[in-house]
Structure 1
């Protein structure tokens, strides 16, 4: 409990921001879903066949897995808030449409006839009789949709939309239960509060309900307008992939840029998502810079297959730089020294017992291997596919989130994992890397990636970031990751310490 309180105290500012983002995304999605579903349900009350079709369609939409839906939306609308809101609206349509339709169709026909006898017009009957009678059922559907939205909105963090999901994802990545609990509890409390507020509207008049919704819209719009006013000066947005290492790097970028030019304001978006999310965000000008790896450019981002086997670090960078410029008009700046290569790792005790030194040695223990690897590694040509092809290995592998695979091997549920050579978990869980004796893995040196237009417009920023070229060894990077993941130091603190100790930044007096 003490750890949770301490974590909350340290991150209450971030929690407030994440809570506001979550509230904005959820409320906006709910309002849009209501504006679509309620009028549609009112219209189809007299068209039962169409209503049945729409109920089936909205039901099918709700069965689409959220991650799959986000994946389908990204190529169409990019990443960030827009695809998150669209996905949440899709999930909210069924309960709102269904409850509105049922509420209106289950009204006592005698009351309908009485309204007609009084000579009420269609609109007046709807506002004075039908909607008030159906309101409890409609509100019930809205409450269901809201709880569904708030829970599902945690996935918005995967595509850079922020919200409370950032705490949950960060907690999973760093094996920090306090962060997971804070994110989950905050999401639950938000759902309860909002659900209670909506329940209060259950017996309110239509006019009161509309007024409350209008106030919410004004507050949301006012908040967005205020944020736009506060951030009206040009800013540079730097994003990073999931994990401690990208967050350390983007904090280094921020400090160097702002130190060299006090007129530049840098906004960081840590834990923004996986490779393709950031790449699409950069191409769509949703972010300005993110750290990428030379090997990833050739293996994942290049449209045409690229030969990487046997290339030196210098040749890999040169090729990656040319590919990005010719293919996407992107500039890949000079890389750092360390090679954050993919690797296969086993427990040091397992390695010693079975006399394992290289990946080729796994042939001797293939029958007892049980793998746990990230989905990205399993699907990559320079990952498990390449391992099977080059080394002729074939053993059962389960897909796992990065942090979970390390927990699994520590508890002996699996005995081999994919890893990065700078992972702090190698030290934390006493794991040993097997030598890539067939030189299958390409070189992975980190370097800032940006559009060529941005690089041309901001030569000072390019100079600032190039100060990291050739710096940071693998041992130094692993130690920095260890300080964040195990010693609970902040990425900003660790980044600052490195820059100061290596004379890239002067200590503030």
Structure 2
């Protein structure tokens, strides 16, 4: 019975346990590396004043740089996933350990070290028998502080595909689901408390026991890190499919997986949902860390491979797709498959009540209002020619804007904090919160049709996968996509079930 209960718990909480394991991995690896760097640096710096100031200055600067900025700098160099996350976390963890160790070692009573010299102790004997034991309490305090910083900052690792408890936080914000957000937040807080307690208990051990446990733990860590890589090298090829944050990419990548596995039951497909921002995914694809992800035609030409002096708004959907396909092939050596039916373009969204009392149907109607409206646009939209800059130029509109994270826009308009926001035409929140998307009567927003993107090398190597994914071409209307998003975000049906249901209903997948 206990075993059965445990198996049921693990099955029901598999996603949480997986995220917790990823978070633990990032925390332990980063903390171990930070300790191995910071303590030796502090030991060396105690007798070298210039180096001490230099090291402290560098560690302090690293602490002031926003973690997202560090990740953005690292991605083009080491790619995405756990590697850049660990590097960033190590940089954040060094300062408290280094500063506490350095301070503790340099404030030891000189009489004690002089007495040790008189008794004939060597420099290393003084360090290990007198100085480090006296500094132990301060060093452990620094390690505790570093641990809390690392655990908290590791939640951002979800943005670059490294997983962790941050996945629940990001999903909760994206879906306005407080339970998901609290799951990630409480999990992170609990980890910090548990780690602090363990470090306290570790500090109460005898020096020899601490060394044995520390060395054993480090050895297990190295084995645990190396073993999966050695194992994976002997396994069949894995096809890695990733998606951006949100329900829509999650649904699409599950469709891709189902179609590939329906054609080849031996195919090993790994999904990386809620992977992060567009630039992160594109970098991951170029560096062969992922194999396929769904991308939009307008995003290719506006963000990834901008095409100068091209008026995308004046082009038809097929023209935009073929231009995006051509640019990807020529400039990035990538293959862009045939797109879906729906157009997930930008939209200017307001409440039905506000639209009704002011007789708003089109974006141009906003110009008739006597007062300047309060908007809640995200930073990306604010700086795009097919976004706020285009609203100013093409529609002559100007708003009192509050920069909002994309996930918070709908919460702001629900609460009446803003009158208009930017959204996407397939957002489930439009239906959920009884909102309305104003018609783009001057055709500011170009077409955004989604299609599988992969490297040309991968496409040539896997023609069967290309054939299977192209079966989705021309399918899924905007209303169908909005309904599927609604089922995931509001009805809490899994993206896997929603994807399978659509494929079976449209005879793309056997029953």
Superposition TM-score tier, normalisation by shorter sequence: over 0.9
Distance 1:229 1:14 in 2: 25
In the TM superposition, what are the counterparts of 1:138-157 in structure 2 within 5 Å?
A: 138-157=139-158
Alignment of 1:33-112 (within 5 A): 33-112=34-113
1:98-137 aligned at under 5 Å gives the runs 98-137=99-138
Give the whole-Å Cα distance in 2 for the aligned partners of 1:185 and 1:28.
22
Cα distance in 2, alignment partners of residues 84 and 366 from structure 1: 49
3-state DSSP of counterpart to 1:345: strand
Instruction: Find out whether 1:242 has 2:257 as its counterpart.
Output: no
Give the 3-state SS of the residue equivalent to 1:46 in structure 2: coil
In structure 2, the residue corresponding to 1:460 is in which secondary structure? helix
**3-state DSSP of counterpart to 1:119:** coil
| Structure 1 range deviating more: 81-90 or 484-493 | 81-90
Matched, 1:297 2:300: yes
* CA distance in 2: counterparts of 1:233 and 1:210, whole angstroms: 40
Q: Is the 8 A contact 1:136 1:203 kept in 2?
A: no
Matched residue of 1:324: which SS?
helix
- C-alpha contact 2:243 2:294 (8 A) present in aligned 1: yes
Q: 1:341 aligns with which of 342, 345, 349?
A: 345
Q: 1 CA distance for matches of 2:370 and 2:70?
A: 37
Deviates more, 1:243-252 or 1:23-32: 23-32
Instruction: Note the residue ranges of structure 2 that are not aligned, 5 or more in a row.
Output: 1-8
Alpha-carbon distance in structure 2 between the residues aligned to 1:45 and 1:221: 30
Q: Which of 276, 286, 291 is residue 288 of structure 1 equivalent to?
A: 291
Q: Cα deviations across residues 268-305 of structure 1 (Å, max 9, x unaligned)? A: 11110011111111111111100000111111111442
Could you tell me how far 1:315 is from its partner in structure 2? 0.8
After superposition, the Cα gap between the structure-2 partners of 1:249 and 1:425, relative to the gap in structure 1 and judged at 3 Å, is same
Deviation at 1:45, TM superposition (A): 0.8
Does structure 1 residue 420 correspond to structure 2 residue 424?
yes
Q: Is the 8 A contact 1:132 1:205 kept in 2?
A: no
Where in structure 2 are the equivalents of 1:344-355 lying within 5 Å? 344-355=348-359
- CA shift at 1:80, angstroms? 1.5
Mark the runs of 5 or more structure 1 residues left unpaired by the alignment: 1-7
Question: C-alpha distance in 2, partners of 1:123/1:251?
Answer: 58
Which residue does 2:267 correspond to in 1? Answer: 264
SS at match of 2:453: strand
Q: Is the 8 A contact 1:45 1:104 kept in 2?
A: yes
Aligned partners of 2:404 and 2:451: how far apart in 1?
27
Aligned residue for 1:450, secondary structure, equals: strand
Shift of 1:229: 5.5
Partner secondary structure for residue 151 of structure 1: helix
Q: Secondary structure at the match of 1:467?
A: helix
Query: Which moved further from structure 2: 289-298 or 199-208?
Result: 199-208
8 Å Cα contact 1:335/1:446 also seen in 2: yes
- Separation in 1 of the partners of 2:119 and 2:268? 65
2:379 aligned with 1:378, yes or no? no
8 Å Cα contact 2:372-2:398 kept in structure 1: no
Contact 1:24–1:220 (CA<8 Å) still a contact in 2? no
2-side partners of 1:146 and 1:343: how far apart? 43
1:88 is displaced (CA, Å) by 1.0
- C-alpha displacement of 1:253: 0.4
Instruction: Tell me the alpha carbon deviations over residues 434-461 of structure 1, each in whole angstroms, 9 at most, x when there is no partner.
Output: 1111111111111000000000000000
Alignment match of 1:388 (pick from 385, 392, 401):
392
- CA–CA separation in structure 2 for the residues paired with 1:209 and 1:365: 71
Distance 1:214 1:169 in 2: 36
Aligned counterpart, 2:201: 200
In the other structure, the counterpart of 2:217 is 216
Number of matched residues? 500
CA-to-aligned-CA distance 1:249-277 (integer Å, 9 cap, x gap): 00000010011111211111111001111
1:139 and 1:201 in contact (8 A); partners too: no
- Please tell me whether the aligned partners of residues 127 and 206 of structure 1 are also in contact (alpha carbons under 8 angstroms): no
Cα distance in 1 for residues equivalent to 2:171 and 2:237: 28
Q: Does 1:182 align with 2:186?
A: no
Q: Which moved more, 1:84-93 or 1:331-340?
A: 84-93
Match of 2:313 in 1: 309
Q: Say if 2:453 is the partner of 1:452.
A: no
Equivalent residue, structure 1, for 2:282: 279
- Paired with 1:91 and 1:166, the residues of 2 have a C-alpha distance of 20
Q: Give CA-to-partner distance per residue, 1:173-197, whole Å, 9 cap, x none.
A: 0111111111111111111111111
Q: What TM-score comes out, normalization by structure 2 length?
A: 0.95
Please give the alpha-carbon distance, in whole angstroms, between the structure 1 residues aligned to 2:10 and 2:315: 48
- Are the equivalent residues in 1 in contact too, given 2:372–2:400 (CA < 8 A)? no
For residues 490-509 of structure 1, what are the structure 2 equivalents within 5 Å? 490-507=494-511
Give the Cα separation in 2 of the matches to 1:260 and 1:110.
Answer: 77
User: Aligned pair in 2 of structure 1 residues 58, 228: CA closer, same or farther (>3 Å)?
Assistant: closer
Residue aligning to 2:258: 255
CA drift of 1:93 comes to 1.2
Partner of 2:403: 399
Report the equivalent of 1:4.
none
Aligned residues: CA RMSD: 1.6
Provide, for residues 374-429 of structure 1, a one-character-per-residue CA deviation record: whole Å limited to 9, x for no partner.
Answer: 22222222211222221121112222222311011011111101111111111111
Structure 1 consecutive aligned stretches of length 4 or more whose deviation exceeds 6 Å: none
Q: Could you say what secondary structure the match of 1:419 adopts?
A: strand
Q: 1:11 to 1:165 in 2, by over 3 A?
A: farther
1:268 match: secondary structure: strand
- Partner Cα distance (1:45, 1:11) in 2: 52
| Cα displacement (A) at 1:242 | 0.8
Q: Secondary structure at the match of 2:54?
A: helix
SS of 1:309's partner is helix
How has the CA–CA distance of structure 1 residues 229 and 12 changed in structure 2, closer, same or farther, with 3 Å as cutoff? Answer: farther
CA drift at 1:366: 6.6
Q: Determine the C-alpha separation between the residues in 2 that align with 1:24 and 1:211.
A: 21
Indicate if the aligned counterparts of 1:131 and 1:206 stay in contact, CA closer than 8 A: no
